[in-house]
Amino acid sequence: MALCVALALWFGRGEDAAPPGATARQAPAGPQFFGQVPAASALAIPDERAERRRQLLENVQLTDHTYCSYREGSKYPVESRPAAQNPDQMQPNQPVTEMNPMRVEGGGSNTNVFLQTSQSRVYLAAGESAAFSLRAVTPQGETVPLVVTRAVAQGMTYGGSRPTPQVALSFADDGGGADPVAGDQAYAGVLAPAQTGLAGFHGTIRTEVRYTAGGRSGFVLFDVIHTPVLPASWTGQVREAMENGSLQFYLGLEVRQPGRYVVTGRVDDAAGRPFALASFNDVLAVGTREVKLTVFGKLLTDEKPALPLRLRDVDGYLLRENVDPDRLLLPRLEGRVFASRMQGLTRVSDAEWESEERARYLTEYEKDRNAARAQLSAFDPGQPLPASACTPAPQ
């Protein structure tokens, strides 16, 4: 017992006072981690359970969004889509307009002069023509006097292909031909391959226009893709039919070359507002055939357009695989092609589009969604599951 008392006295003295002759040591700055964690550090450590629940919840939301987005996006078939989803395809015959700094000869550009250009079309079927125009302005929009010094068109060839002849084009500001207003410093010209040495050329035809504006020489290029032969021609016969709850437009086509034809038509409502983009993509044999353009039933019941509907601006081509150019163009049908006689939606179906592919994808996406919800429910059974963005998910 005496030994224990002596040891206690010895250690007690060592904790309370420094040995004789020793200098006191200053405590190091900052917290000392001897069994105690400061409050700030405790707050920085993540709550593992809360983090896990957050991850599971994000997975539920992601899988639900995937399922609902695919279902919503595929409720109409590819060949019948709302006009609002394809605004860039609803006006195929509008001119292509651009404004860029003047490109000068020898490279570079003149930012003090901008060139306004217009091109009536990019694709030319046999017998069609394209109109080009150009006008020079300052950055503030004031007209800069312009003079066209040279304009030639030539087919683009590559490798060992023989060069095509150059065709001179006339650009004028006289209010005639492609130029709507005389004397406005906007010069216009027309390329009609069928009337030149480029009638048999298949591919890109480049028109190079050289001019002077603002005291400097510049140039601009216009490209069109030309088809020298027609693989098929329209018969002029158009009819409508209600089939499986959808409106169908049938256009007669005299097919000369068999293959896969891609045709697109635009559908407006009775007030002239763009309503739908209808397309055809199928193989046609030689002979008199019909191209079917569909306005899907559910699209009609969802959007409820003003009736009757009008089909307009139909264009198409014969697809050529693994060659360049990859298409032979059909003659375009500009403006109104056909007006439907349908006055009501009594025979129209509101069912979503169905296909083997869509059903397969929906099944897989729903499996993922249900699995994610089951994981969250098992982890935190006391909390309600979030509602689905579309149809209620099974609990």
Per-residue confidence in pLDDT tens, the chain, 395 aa: 454 444 444 444 444 444 444 443 343 444 443 344 444 444 445 689 899 999 999 999 999 999 999 999 999 999 999 999 999 999 999 999 999 999 998 889 999 999 999 999 999 999 999 999 999 999 999 999 999 999 999 999 987 778 899 999 999 999 988 888 999 999 999 999 999 999 999 999 999 999 999 889 999 999 999 999 999 999 999 999 999 999 999 999 999 999 999 999 999 999 999 999 999 999 999 999 999 999 999 999 999 999 999 999 999 999 998 888 899 999 999 999 999 999 999 999 999 999 999 999 999 999 999 999 999 999 999 889 999 998 655 44
Largest CA distance in the chain: 128
- Distances in Å between the Cα of 322 and the Cα atoms of 160, 195, 220, 326, 327 are 19, 30, 31, 7, 10
What is the DSSP secondary-structure string of 320-331? Answer: -TTSSS-EEEPP
Q: Identify the CA nearest to 340 among candidates 241, 266, 265, 194.
A: 241
Closest CA to 79 of 390, 362, 303, 355: 355
Query: What's the confidence (pLDDT) of residue 378?
Result: 95
Q: Is the dihedral of CA 46, 51, 52, 53 positive or negative?
A: positive
- Strand pairing category for 123-124 and 216-226: parallel
How far is 331 from 51, CA to CA, in rounded Å? 62
For residues 267 and 276, the answer to whether their CB atoms sit within 8 Å is yes
Residues present in the chain in total: 395
DSSP character at residue 314: E
Q: Is 226 within 8 Å of 206 (Cβ atoms)?
A: no
- Angle at which helix 356-379 crosses helix 48-73, to 10 degrees, equals 160
Identify the CA nearest to 124 among candidates 43, 187, 209, 201: 201
Q: What is the CATH number of domain 108-226?
A: 2.60.40.1930
**pLDDT for the residue numbered 227:** 94
Q: Which CATH architecture has domain 80-89+231-339?
A: Sandwich (2.60)
Q: How many other CB atoms are found less than 10 A from the CB of residue 250?
A: 17
315 closest CA partner among 273, 261, 249: 261
Model pLDDT, residue 31 = 41
Pairing of strands 246-255, 96-103: unpaired
pLDDT for 18 equals 42
Task: Of 74, 68, 200, 181, give the one whose Cα is nearest residue 135.
Answer: 181
Return the exposure string of 122-152: e unless at least 16 CB atoms fall within 10 Å of the residue's CB, then b.
ebbbbebebbbbbbbbeeeeeebebebeebe
Residue with tokens 């003090």: 112
- Res 283: pLDDT: 98
What's the pTM value of the predicted model, to 2 decimals?
0.81
Enter the tokens of residue 375.
Answer: 């994981």
d(CA 45, CA 109): 59
pLDDT of residue 43: 47
pLDDT value at residue 42: 47
* Residue 7 pLDDT: 44
